[in-house]
Chains A and B, each alone.
Chain A
């Protein structure tokens, strides 16, 4: 019952947030100079005044702002995200076509960063002055400070050009003929480098945080008690301390989820990963308002779901959270 109430409140806020995201962004895009007629002209290499006026009339861009906003919101409330000016197809179709690729990339990267980050953090927390600890610190700082598009190109040069282990771009080899497993491994092979590039930033964050909280937890009374009781050190660390050290990391991971989505924009561009990130970037450049808003809608949705999942994950690892709304 309690759970349902929490869920209902969250959903209400989520819907309000989504509407706010749409209205705010519609206004923002409207304020940006230039419109989709300009970018269609760019894609055609010409801008005939008559053609441009025709494009604006076709898409209602010659209407006053408030009329455009009203008709857009009206459609959204009827679950219609509109029609992409630039790609000439329904925005929902366009996004659903790209969403799986982004979800695959983002979730794999996030989970990988979380697991490896925590493991690295715990290892270095156990011996804060060991070689391994310095390595983790160095690696974390490097990952955090290197721009992800640069890491991406570096990875490409190393593992696609010099040692040809992984493909350069895209999500699959379209010339491949084979069964499910052949395609599965093909996608997995394409996934490796983008995931490594994307997780590198977050790996750094998580490992630093896991290290810090783990060190703190290891110094706390109940850990000392557990040790005094004669439990093996391994058990103390992984069974008692880790659970407590984990909740800040999970909280951070939840908060960072939106950052992972925006990091995906760059990674997708470098690796030609056919996801929402590249679509978002191109649509903003193209002033393709319905597509941008559609993507923001879905990203907001993704972040909200990510945050909900974080909440439930916290409840799972930390019994103290369970009583709270």
Chain B
């Protein structure tokens, strides 16, 4: 019932949006330069060998994927004009656009798709995306058939956004090895709507429209300049004085609220479902009091989520109750919300054998890595837990690698962490909970969590092609992890897109933000 009402509301909202959009519908205008920002220098521009949102912004403009996704998480044609999953789920056929070419004018062929799959499988960090692909058949120039060892529903999302860049075999297959290929960063030959003009590390990436792009009239923009501005305050000021027109992945609550009040600018947190970032409190379930599920549950009851959402996140973040992002169609909101209940928390801690002595039950440490937004949440949690007699010592970690080392070797009690879903649970969720992935570096199962039923559910869901059945499996998985609290979920990282009102069709539709093509973005005078 709840879902039905929610669906109905969403449908009404969508109709309303469509109606207003219809009223204000203007003919898109070609031309102009869009100035966007990057928060750091991309290590590599080629998304086939490097993931991450910085590479994504430029990579997804220069390289096309077979599919793209709409707001409702439905796959749409892109470089593949149509596709087909076989009855047994053991092969996926892609029918490519026939007049598509790479930036050097060479046609994009099915053999390039086969080559790209091979490269991504070997060099992309998300091994689970193409691991079940056993071979790629190329019956003709425009048909590629991906053969699978078992049904692999995650493949659809893995073929969209920045995750499956189609790269030219005649460039990257020249024997120099695609991972450190010199043309990953200069003279890039891509398959997307924009081509590289200039990449100056530390300064900018300039791209211009590829005139030979297969879709008539697209892209609208002449140029995209992605300026590298690491400081978030400087980015906000640059937006306000008109130096830049688009900033994505902005997640600092004070800045979000400031831009919301600025003239001529719009703010949205739509379009990040595929990225799926979640802030959470990781707990090491293998040592000390945190071994006991009752202690972890008590911690969840002692934290006032409401306070975090209102005072710390200042109303900018969505709630997250499980390891699946709330925008995902697989999200299960029907789980324990752990509403603040200090009596219950105290009772559970008593029961777990940690009696209160002189106002204290036990000591525990919490790591603090200098990521934006981590300090206030960490300090709040210390405060909240002191109320139930848990004495938290905050350990400041100087930088990411030091912290990654602590996490990756499970040398911690608790820490804030932000982990991205990357579309399908198989890509970004499983890694945190599978017994087989315990302590394999940062962003693995660093909680040391192990539950045979969870492993079983995740394995079944990974191979279940029926959406409803798959959803039910993930719903049960979410119930279990929500109940056993190896992780206390804080909120969906409040990633926002800031854009000038001149920017039309901003990258807030779909699920991949700027990790998807901006071919339909245009500028109003």
Whether A and B are associated in the same complex: the answer reads yes
- Listed in ascending order, the chain A residues whose CB lies under 8 Å from chain B are 32-36, 38-52, 58, 86-89, 94, 97-98, 153, 156-157, 160-161, 164, 167-171, 174-175, 269-272, 274-275, 278-279, 282, 284-287
* Residues in B280-320 with C-beta less than 8 Å from chain A: none
Query: How many inter-chain contacts with C-beta < 8 Å in the A-B complex?
Result: 167
**B187 → chain A, closest Cβ, in Å?**
14
In contact, B227 and A170 (Cβ under 8 angstroms): yes
Is B126's CB within 8 Å of the partner chain A?
Answer: yes
- How distant is the Cα of A275 from the Cα of B399 in the complex, in angstroms? 21
List B contacts of A94 (CB < 8 A): 201
Is B33's CB within 8 Å of the partner chain A?
Answer: yes
List B contacts of A32 (CB < 8 A): 401-402
Is B339's CB within 8 Å of the partner chain A?
Answer: no
In contact, B227 and A272 (Cβ under 8 angstroms): yes
List A contacts of B233 (CB < 8 A): 153, 156, 270
Task: Check A34/B402 contact, CB under 8 A, given A46-B443, A98-B202.
Answer: yes
Partner of B229, one of A42, A170, A174, A279: A170
In contact, B202 and A175 (Cβ under 8 angstroms): no
In contact, B401 and A282 (Cβ under 8 angstroms): no
In contact, B442 and A47 (Cβ under 8 angstroms): yes
In contact, B50 and A44 (Cβ under 8 angstroms): yes
Please report the total number of B residues contacting A with Cβ < 8 Å. Answer: 57
Partner of A44, one of B52, B185, B431: B52
Task: Check A47/B444 contact, CB under 8 A, given A38-B400, A160-B241.
Answer: yes
- How distant is the Cα of A23 from the Cα of B13 in the complex, in angstroms? 63
Is B415's CB within 8 Å of the partner chain A?
Answer: no
- Listed in ascending order, the chain B residues whose CB lies under 8 Å from chain A are 33, 35, 40-41, 43-44, 50-55, 125-127, 180, 184-185, 200-204, 206, 223, 225, 227-231, 233-235, 237-238, 240-241, 243, 399-406, 408, 420, 422, 428, 431, 440-444
In contact, B237 and A270 (Cβ under 8 angstroms): no
In contact, B125 and A156 (Cβ under 8 angstroms): no
Partner of A50, one of B127, B202, B223, B237: B127
In contact, B422 and A45 (Cβ under 8 angstroms): yes
- How distant is the Cα of A287 from the Cα of B402 in the complex, in angstroms? 10
- Name the CB-closest residue of A to B402: A33
**B164 → chain A, closest Cβ, in Å?**
15
Partner of B41, one of A40, A87, A171: A87
**B302 → chain A, closest Cβ, in Å?**
31
- Name the CB-closest residue of A to B186: A89
Report 15 cross-chain contacts, Cβ distance below 8 Å, ordered by A residue: A33-B401, A34-B399, A45-B53, A46-B431, A47-B444, A52-B441, A58-B180, A88-B44, A89-B201, A98-B202, A169-B243, A170-B203, A170-B204, A270-B233, A278-B202
List B contacts of A47 (CB < 8 A): 125, 404, 408, 440-444
List B contacts of A45 (CB < 8 A): 51-53, 125, 420, 422, 443
Q: Which of A35, A87, A171 has the most CB of B within 10 A?
A: A87
In contact, B400 and A88 (Cβ under 8 angstroms): no
Task: Check A156/B400 contact, CB under 8 A, given A43-B54, A175-B225.
Answer: no
In contact, A38 and B50 (Cβ under 8 angstroms): no
